[in-house]
Amino acid sequence: MDEIEGGTCYWANMPPELLREVLMKIEDSESSWPARKHVVACAAVCKSWREIIKELVKTLEVSGKITFPISIKQPGPRESLIQCFVKRNRATQMHYLYLSLSQALAGDGKFLLAARRFRRPAFTEHVISLHPDHMFRASGSYIGKLRSNFLGNKFVVYDALPPHAGAKILQTRSTQMVGLKQISPGVPTGNYPVAQIMYELNVLGARSPRRMHCIMDSTPASAIKPGGVAPIQVDFPFSNANSFPAIPFFWSKSNGLDKSLSAPLNSQREASLVLRNEAPRWNQQLHCWCLNFQGRVTVASVKNFQLVASPENGVVGAGNEKIFLQFGKYSWMIHIEWEVIVL
């Protein structure tokens, strides 16, 4: 990029009104990937371009568009689906999450997240990264992890950065490992519990439907009610970033999560959103358990599930059965609706 005297980019001297009009047309026309990369490129030109792009690009909940990495930590759109698929590499214990670029869920998509499984004597851990090859906690791409207990029926999702002001860090050995290379100097990094998932003991055997509950600690139960507001992060709090400066978080107060995988999963989270899996129905003709995926799932599996609001959220009526997330085998498909974040 050519520069004029004083180190100022030539492009930064465009009239603000003209620049805004041009960038507005680009943001509006390049609405999906891979064309969406041009919006990201505009944000990298110079500071003035970046500030305008930040104003034009709305949150995922409002626009339904995934643009910058922070989108994966924002609630999905209320009236549409975010369609993704998962690729698994058994040899390397890797999972890759892609944004689907076609209705057929075929071919390559837009890469979103990668996770690698690490087995420990007492638990299993999936390290989550924004980069498909940088799977270490000390890397700048590390954003969180998923940890299971010894039995594999209870999981905790941890964020590497505070999901909201006042979030309490969980001090563990892995927290110290993150500190080897500070992700955001000036921002405390470590393990911030943001969600818990529990599978109930299946007394009918491994091939029968499984029951699960999810507690979204950073999302209040009131968010799914009419007029409810969900907490939204608008940027990573990177104080050393050369890209986007930190922006204050918008968040809603909620109760803290249990700090141990052995702690009970119960109504202690009365301020947090609780999700449960939709119970499948037995199909007498097919002799199998069935869920209505609207044709988006092609392979039967006990791992297929749909998440709806739990009655304990205090929401009654037909809207109680709205599907917030569904996961099923196509290769592996995942659909995300509001109020679930991709991470």
Q: What is the pTM of this model?
A: 0.77
- The neighbouring-strand residues paired with 144 are 128, 159
Q: Is omega for the bond preceding 226 within 30 degrees of 0, making it cis? A: no
d(CA 73, CA 75): 7
d(CA 52, CA 43): 8
Q: What are the domain boundaries of the chain? A: 10-57, 82-336
Q: Which CATH superfamily is domain 82-336 in?
A: Tubby Protein; Chain A (3.20.90.10)
Cβ–Cβ contacts within 10 Å for residue 76, how many? 23
Q: Spell out the per-residue pLDDT of the chain, length 343, in tens.
A: 444 444 556 778 889 899 999 999 999 999 889 899 999 999 999 999 999 999 999 999 899 999 999 998 888 888 888 888 888 898 999 999 999 876 555 557 899 999 999 998 899 999 999 999 888 777 788 999 999 998 888 999 999 887 655 555 565 554 444 443 444 444 445 688 889 999 987 656 666 678 899 998 888 888 888 788 877 887 776 533 333 333 333 333 333 334 445 555 554 444 789 999 998 888 888 778 888 888 778 777 888 899 998 887 766 554 447 888 988 887 556 777 666 666 6
- The neighbouring-strand residues paired with 75 are 341
d(CA 327, CA 302): 11
d(CA 146, CA 168): 17
Report the residue count for the chain: 343
